[in-house]
Every structure is written in C-alpha cells, then in structure tokens.
Structure 1
Amino acid sequence: MTTDWAQERILVFAPHPDDETLGCGGLLSKAKRAGAEVLVQFITVGDTADESAKGYSTAEERYAEIKKVSDHFRWDDWNMALPGDHFHLRLDTVAQVDLTQIIERESPISIARAQPTVVLAPHGSSYNQDHRAVARAVHTALRPSNTAVRHHPRLVLSYEEAADQWRTDPVASPSLIVELEEDDLDAKVEGMGLYGSQAHEHPHTRSEPTLRSLAVLRGMQAGVALGEGFHVARCLA
C-alpha cells in the first residue's frame, strides 16, 4: 500500500494533549512534510498530577504546551472539545452518544465538518478509561452508512502508544507500518519534549528511548529502519 500523503486531510482524535504525538507524531511529521492538511481534535484537559517540582500542571500550562507543539508540527487547526477537571480522566462518565455527537458533527473540526480522508484514533485496548471512551465514540461516529448521508474517510487507523502494551487481553500486532525517516522520528521526539509537563526520563513509556525503541521495532517488522504501527479499521483502495 502506497499513500500520497500530500493529497490527504488527516484528522487525529487525541483524548489528551500528547496522545497524538506519542501515537502518530512520526506520521504527522511525514504527512505534513509531504503537504497534507493536519487537524487535531483534543477531547479533554485539566489540572494534572505530574513529576514537576510542584507536583502538578495546570490546564493553562497544558494549553501553552499545545500551542508550542502545534507550531512545531505546523498543524492546520486544533480544538479542545471538553476542557476542565469535570471531564479530564472522567470521559467514561460522559454518555457515549454525547461524545459521539461531538466527534461526528458538533465540533468545529468534526468528521462531518472537516470531511477528512484519514482518521487516526486511540486503540480501544488501552488501560486508560479516557482512551477507551474516545476509541468507542470514534468507532461509532464512523459506522458504515450511505456515503451520500454520512462522510466516510477512506482510511481509518488506530494508533498505538507504548503504554498500551500494558493489558490483559491479547491484541494482534499492528497491521499497518508507516515508514519514517530519521527526521520524522526526531520531530516526534522533539514534539514530546515540548510537552514538558508530560515527558519523563527513561525508563518510562513517554521517554525518548522508549519512543525511539518502538520506532526501531516497528520498522524492523516491515524491513525498514524506522516505523510507526497502526491497526486498520477501514481502508478503501
């Protein structure tokens, strides 16, 4: 499968700021460098416990990080759907129909409004309740239908994060590997570094060695030097 990323409009659903970089930062770098349009829909953010000197980061600090990362990757637009502590790390308490409506048509960069050709979303096997809630809602929003009635992106992928390997149910290896250049991996690592409140030293699932090691592993599985792995939900050739 060969994709001309220059022709694509990519919409990424990230439960929290940094998930898009951890899961598909290399692909976003590669696609944007080729000329793709990239939109990122964050779902929620709030005050977050971290390992900084004060022990937490505020939502305002997280917004500042998003702006730095957006400039770094040159995203065309981004949006935050449900800001605040009422939703952050509590998306499993939001009715799935409400979350699906935001993703499908209510957000300024919803599927119906943005009409992406490619959608990227978290994998439903994550231990994180917010990730699972977003994965289910995106899956529902992209349910099969008449294309004259509902927009159908040509390519729908679930991205992986190293932390997702912590699970009890077996999950197949990624079914699609996107080859990365060294510059794409460097852009991913640098982007994660701009999320200063969320980056960690090794050994940690969000450390630089972890990101580089996973890229080497996925690349090796496809016979190339570096790659990012994805699970295919839809691919219209």
Structure 2
Amino acid sequence: MNILVVAPHMDDEVLGPGGTIRHHALQGDSVHVCYIADRVYNHKTNSLQINQDRANASKATELLGVSDLTFLGLPDERLDGFVQDILIPLEDCFNRVDPDWLYVCHGGDLNQDHRATFHATMIAARPAAQKKLSKILCYEVPSSTDQAPPGGAMPFTPNVFIDITMHIDTKVDALRHYSDEMRPFPHPRSEKGVRALAATRGMQANIPAAEAFILLREIVR
C-alpha cells in the first residue's frame, strides 16, 4: 500500500505515528511523509535552522523506513490564515502519492497549525477527489492533543490501537534526532513521556505498547 502521513511540523510524524510508520515499512508498505510547515524559533525564521531541521527529519524517518519526504515549507504559526495556502500544494502531494491510507493530526489539538492542517487535509482527502483512499486515521501528538481544553468540539477518543511493542525503541531512537524539540520529563515530549503514553495506550488494548488513533473514514471494497 501507499501510506501518506501528513505532519504539521517536523517531529510530529514521529511523536504521533512513529511506531506505526515503522510497522507499515516492515510490512512492505511505501510510507510518504508530507511536512506542512518549517518551524520558527522565537517567532523568527532561521534558514540555517530550517536546513538542519530537514536534515534531522531525513535521519529520523530513515530509521523508521520512510520512502519519501515532501516539505511544503509553509510558515509556522500562520497556517490558520488561509486554508488554500495549505490545500493547493497538499493536493499536489496527494496526487503524486496516490495514497491507500492516510494519517493526519487530530483536528481538536491545542496547536492552531495542527487544526489548520487537519482542516485542509480533510478537504484534500474528500472521496470525490481521492478515489483510491480507503482509510483515514487521526493521530495524537504529545503536548498538543493532550493540552486541548476540556469540553471541546473534537475530543480525542481513540478507537484504533496499533501494536508498537516491537517498535517503541526505534521510535525513541528516531526522536533523538529532534533533540531541540525534546524536553525533560515530566514533559509529554520527553523520552520517558513518550514511553509512558505508549504504555498507557497499550494498557487500553491489553498489549505492552501501542499508538492510538481515531478512525475517521473507512471504505470497504
């Protein structure tokens, strides 16, 4: 299968479905990651840092077995301005990859870039436009999904759990390439925090470690 992972920022693809990406790669699937935005630091763009971020993304995803990377290079912290700015280049990526399955960040996240990415992705993935696409799964991002205020319109209530018991160490190794984005425990975006979340999701499914998703759409043919 062709698997497309849409990530708002470099590191979201590992923090969220990193173990699942490894699972697909070992199954022989072709996994493509589309990064929507280049990060800013202290609300400023730094071209040297962007180049380093992209190099880190390449190293992290190589560990996971990703086949192909696309960097849209849109401005961080401003994705919620005009959905067309995301939609037009994202549609080009969809048409090139022609995915069977799609993974996208949760639409109820605290981060405004995540919410904008989700909105644009769901438009690009509408059935009339993507006739081959049969499954859409929504992933969580530690320190964003879990920080959404209570009572929101889109709570993260997972109903799909993927066993990553054999892949959690590879996921953590991949995250080490994003050392600038990692934080000390008890921050959710720490090595111990990532392992704790995997264990928590695993307990919900009676397995040692899991990643959790919301099934948004499935077409059975």
Same fold (TM over 0.5): yes
Pair 1:26-2:9 in alignment: no
**Which residue identity does 2:133 align to in structure 1?**
P
Counterpart residue number, 1:11? 4
- SS at 2:197 equivalent: helix
Q: Unaligned regions of 5+ residues in structure 2, if any?
A: none
- SS at 2:215 equivalent: strand
Pair 1:70-2:57 in alignment: no
Counterpart residue number, 2:183? 200
Q: Select the residue among 22, 45, 50 that pairs with 1:59.
A: 50
Task: Decide whether aligned partners of structure 1 residues 225 and 46 sit closer, same or farther in structure 2, where only a CA change above 3 A counts.
Answer: closer
Q: How far apart in 1 are the matches of 2:205 and 2:24?
A: 19
Alignment of 1:1-237 (within 5 A): 8-49=1-42, 58-83=49-74, 87-93=75-81, 95-104=82-91, 106=92, 110-145=93-128, 150-163=130-143, 164-168=145-149, 169-170=151-152, 171-182=155-166, 184-237=167-220
- SS at 2:108 equivalent: coil
Q: Unaligned regions of 5+ residues in structure 1, if any?
A: 1-7, 51-56
Q: How far apart in 2 are the matches of 1:102 and 1:80?
A: 10
**Which residue identity does 2:191 align to in structure 1?**
E
Task: Give per-residue Cα distances to partners, 1:35-72, cap 9 Å, x unaligned.
Answer: 1111000011144249xxxxxx8212212211211322
- The structural deviation recorded for 1:172 is 4.6
**Which residue identity does 1:209 align to in structure 2?**
K
Q: How far apart in 1 are the matches of 2:215 and 2:12?
A: 18
Q: How far apart in 1 are the matches of 2:58 and 2:170?
A: 15
Q: Give the TM-score, by structure 1 length.
A: 0.84
- SS at 2:172 equivalent: helix
**Which residue identity does 2:215 align to in structure 1?**
V
Q: How far apart in 2 are the matches of 1:155 and 1:199?
A: 31
Q: How far apart in 1 are the matches of 2:39 and 2:160?
A: 33
**Which residue identity does 1:122 align to in structure 2?**
C
Q: Give the TM-score, by structure 2 length.
A: 0.90
Q: How far apart in 2 are the matches of 1:219 and 1:73?
A: 20
Q: Which 4+ residue blocks in structure 1 deviate beyond 4 angstroms?
A: none
Q: How far apart in 2 are the matches of 1:88 and 1:13?
A: 15
Work out the number of aligned pairs and report it. 212
- SS at 1:121 equivalent: strand
Tell me, yes or no, if the aligned pair for 1:43 and 1:80 is still in contact at 8 Å: yes
Task: Give per-residue Cα distances to partners, 1:175-198, cap 9 Å, x unaligned.
Answer: 11111123x111111111111211
- SS at 2:69 equivalent: strand
